[in-house]
Amino acid sequence: MAFSISPLLANSAIICVLLVLFASHRDAAAATGYNCYKSIINFGDSLADTGNFIRMSNPENKGATPPYGETFFHRPTGRFSDGRLIIDFIAQSLGLPFLRPYLSAEDDGGEEINFEKGVNFAVAGATALDISFFEERGIYNAMTNTSLGTQLDWFQESFCTNTHSADCKEKLQSSLVLMGEIGGNDYNYAFMQGIPREEISSFVPKIISTISSAITKLIEFGAQSVVVPGNFPIGCLPLYLFFFKGSNQSEYDSKTGCINWLNEFSMYHNEQLKRELSRLRELHPNTTIIYADYYNAALDLYISPSNYGFNNTLSACCEGCMLSKSSTVCDDPSSFVNWDGIHFTEAAYEAIAQGLLHGPYTSPNVYEFCILKGSRGQTSSDHLRMNI
**Bigger pLDDT: 351 vs 362:** 351
- Mean pLDDT of the region 119-128: 97
Q: What is the pLDDT of residue 160?
A: 80
Helices of type H across 284-339: 294-303
Residue 253: is its pLDDT beyond 90? Answer: yes
Q: What is the pTM of this model?
A: 0.86
Residue 105: is its pLDDT beyond 90? Answer: no
- Mean pLDDT of the region 102-120: 72
Q: What is the pLDDT of residue 36?
A: 81
Q: What is the pLDDT of residue 386?
A: 25
- Mean pLDDT of the region 47-61: 87
Q: What is the pLDDT of residue 2?
A: 39
* 160-166 CB contacts, 8 Å cutoff, 24+ apart: 160/221, 165/221
Catalytic-role residue among 45, 49, 82, 340: 340
Most distant pair of Cα atoms in the chain: their distance: 62
- Mean pLDDT of the region 361-385: 55
- CATH, range 7-383: 3.40.50.1110
269 tagged catalytic: no
- Mean pLDDT of the region 174-197: 96
What CA dihedral angle connects 306, 78, 290 and 238, to 10 degrees?
A: 40
Q: How confident is the model at residue 154 (pLDDT cuts 50, 70, 90)?
A: very high
Neighbours of 166 (CB within 10 A): 9
Q: What is the pLDDT of residue 384?
A: 35
Q: What is the pLDDT of residue 320?
A: 85
For residues 86 and 47, the answer to whether their CB atoms sit within 8 Å is yes
Catalytic-role residue among 49, 147, 266, 343: 343
Residue 358: is its pLDDT beyond 90? Answer: no
Range scoring the smallest mean pLDDT among 19-33, 180-194, 301-315: 19-33
Catalytic-role residue among 46, 57, 175, 327: 46
Residue 75: is its pLDDT beyond 50? Answer: yes
Q: Quick one: DSSP state of residue 107?
A: G
- Mean pLDDT of the region 374-382: 41
Angstrom CA distances, 310 to 24, 133, 302, 318, 357, stand at 19, 39, 9, 15, 21
Average pLDDT, the chain: 85
Q: How confident is the model at residue 112 (pLDDT cuts 50, 70, 90)?
A: low
Q: What is the pLDDT of residue 132?
A: 97
Query: What is the C-alpha to C-alpha distance for residues 257 and 335, in angstroms, rounded to an integer?
Result: 17
Task: Report percent pLDDT > 90 for the chain.
Answer: 66
Sign for the CA dihedral angle at 348, 353, 354, 358 comes to: positive
Q: What is the pLDDT of residue 7?
A: 41
167 tagged catalytic: no
Question: CB-based contacts of 366: which residues, under 8 Å, 6+ apart?
Answer: 36, 90, 93, 94, 176, 227, 290, 356, 357
Q: What is the pLDDT of residue 167?
A: 78
340 tagged catalytic: yes
Question: CB-based contacts of 346: which residues, under 8 Å, 6+ apart?
Answer: 71, 72, 81, 82, 83, 84, 85, 333, 334
Residue 292: is its pLDDT beyond 90? Answer: yes
Residue 59: helix, strand or coil by DSSP? coil
Total number of residues shown for the chain = 388
List, for residues 196-229, the tens digit of each pLDDT value.
999 999 999 999 999 999 999 999 999 999 999 9
Residue 5: is its pLDDT beyond 60? Answer: no
